[in-house]
Amino acid sequence: MKVKQNKKISFKLLMPTLIAATLLTLILVFIARYYLIQNNEALTQKALSKKINEIESNINNIADKALYSATICSEMSVVKEAYAQFNETGNLQESSMLIENEYKNINKALERTYGDVHKIHFHLPPARSFIRCWSAKRGDDLSGFRNTILNISKNHKPLKGIEAGRGGFVIRGIAPIFSDKQEYYGSVEVLLPIDEIINTSKTDETEDFALFMHKDLLGTSTSLLEASSSNVSGQSQIKSDFALINTSSENMIFNHLSDELFLAGFKDILITEKGDHKYAFFPIKDFIGEHVGLGLFQLDISEFQQNIRRMNVIIVATALFLLALLSFIIVMTVRNVLTIPLNFAVKAMEQMKNGQLDVNIVSRGEDEIGILLNSIIATSQKLNEVILSVSEGAISINSASIEINGTSQSLSQGANEQAASVEEISSTIEEITANIEQNSDNTNQTGKISQDAQIGMQEVKLSTDKAVTANKEIAEKIKVINDIAFQTNILALNAAVEAARAGEYGKGFAVVAAEVRKLAEHSKVAADEIVSLAQNSFVVTMQAGKKLDELLPQIEKTTQLIQEISAASSEQLNGTNQVNNAMQQLNNVTQQNASASEEMAASAQMLEDQAEQLIKAIAYFKIKTKK
């Protein structure tokens, strides 16, 4: 059954392979993009977390610097002298003037150490201003809003951190002041502006930072409350529960951020993405760790997103290139490993199909395809040998079938002639058998007649005296005897003829037939004589009696001979019947031989025709003959 092939095996192999390669490439592209985005997201998260840590670290560093500066101030002799004088005289103005006169020197010393100008504020216990080095205001009560002063007056331990002031958040470092006898005089604080955090948090143009205070602290930051109705870069300074203190740039955009984000960022660090920006919210804690505001760090990721898109394009282009390269490698591999060898195999099979067994292909390698090509070559060679052997055998069979056909024709012809001869002989033997049977019947009848004649002759002998009266009867009997003798003579002649036909088997019968003929002739002569005697009247009756005495032994002998002839005829009949049966069997065998000869002749002719057809069929193949 021929199956129609619409697609080549290379196509059937390449299509699933290329589809699988394409799917694998797409999966790898998606995985690469996923990991790229996740990696960049993680890097962004890490950068924002690092930035938050840097801001918190900067706040802590500035607070450390403020505390260190305050500690230096608390150890200065002039400071202790001023406090000791105040404790002795109670004159705030005169005592504070000692510090005010020395402030420039103190500030220069701190400026040499830290490179900037410090605001220094000295306090009296429990929470009263002693002197503000940047202002003439002295002696005012601070207990209503300065928790840090109250805390240090109570614990006498240094403090640092962020605290709300009149102008907003300020980084403070507060150190206690003790006398030489370790009596608590008061405290000194160094104030550093929060602007330094704003300025240091922005390292490039993609970054911006904004600082918000919780609105509950606006009662303390009165100057900030007065400016709360103004706009910064077109944005309200109040956002949700928070008031904007300062930003690193007027381009900072946060008005589109929801209040929920601000509230969540006030509680804990929150990083989110909106449009082309990443936002990091984190709480601002005061000196005792309470949340008093929040910081908002803005990162412009538009260029980052463009880089992502470029990387996506590069990944897709690389994937397409690798897919094309992989497809080319697969196609060339399938072509060299499978298609070309299979084409050789197909070409070889086409040649074998067209009868060209002398295929010329080269086997490559020892893989399955190489084994297939080697098998095709071996099959071609084996078929060539088999077809060559079959061709030689067909030619031999054709020659032998021609000879067998001729012999069969001769044998068939002889068998038919023999069958005809046997049939003729069988007919002749049947006729002989019939004649012998007839002769046997006649002989039997003659024997009976001879016996009757013998009895009659005996009765004639006994009735000689009655011969006269029986002349007429004797004459009639003699006439019958005469007829019998005549018939016997004829039968003897016929028996002689049949004996002559029987050949060797009929020689004995011929002798008997001759004797019977002689006896028949004697019987006829005797009958004639008896007739003459009967006609000579009664005179010769006595002579007839004598003659009867002479004839009686001969008649007995004749009867015996006839009985012997009858027995011989019976034996001859049995023999001829056996010969006839044998001839019938021979005739049947001869007829079977004739039929078998005819069938063999037909089979030989058919074999000759088949051999010729086989030779013609084998002639379709082009084979190598043996050298």
pLDDT digits (tens, 9 = 90+) for 79-135: 899 899 999 998 888 888 888 887 777 766 666 665 555 688 899 999 898 988 878
CB-based contact 192:174 (threshold 8 Å): no
Share of the chain above pLDDT 70, in %: 85
Query: Which residues are bridge partners to 238 per DSSP?
Result: 243
Residue 115: DSSP 8-state: S
Residue 158: per-residue pLDDT: 94
33 or 214, higher pLDDT: 214
Residues 396, 392: Cα–Cα separation, whole Å:
6
The pLDDT tens digits for 245-262 are 888 877 777 788 888 989
Residues 159, 142: Cα–Cα separation, whole Å:
16
> What is the mean pLDDT of the segment spanning 360-364?
64
Residue 467: per-residue pLDDT: 58
Nearest alpha-carbon partner for 598 in 610, 609, 606: 606
Helix or strand (DSSP H, E) at 470: helix 467-502
Residue 234 has pLDDT above 50, yes or no: no
Residue 464 has pLDDT above 80, yes or no: no
Residues 107, 264: Cα–Cα separation, whole Å:
41
> What is the mean pLDDT of the segment spanning 11-40?
76
Task: Record the tokens describing residue 461, joined without a space.
Answer: 């002998």
Query: Band of the pLDDT at 621, cuts 50, 70, 90?
Result: low
The pLDDT tens digits for 265-299 are 889 989 888 888 888 899 988 888 889 888 888 88
202-300: in CATH 3.30.70? no
What is the phi/psi pair of residue 120, to 5°? Answer: -120, 135
The pLDDT tens digits for 544-557 are 667 777 777 777 77
Domain(s) labelled CATH 3.30.450 in the chain stretch across 202-300
Residues 200, 187: Cα–Cα separation, whole Å:
29
3 or 21, higher pLDDT: 21
The pLDDT tens digits for 38-74 are 777 777 778 788 888 888 888 888 888 889 888 988 8
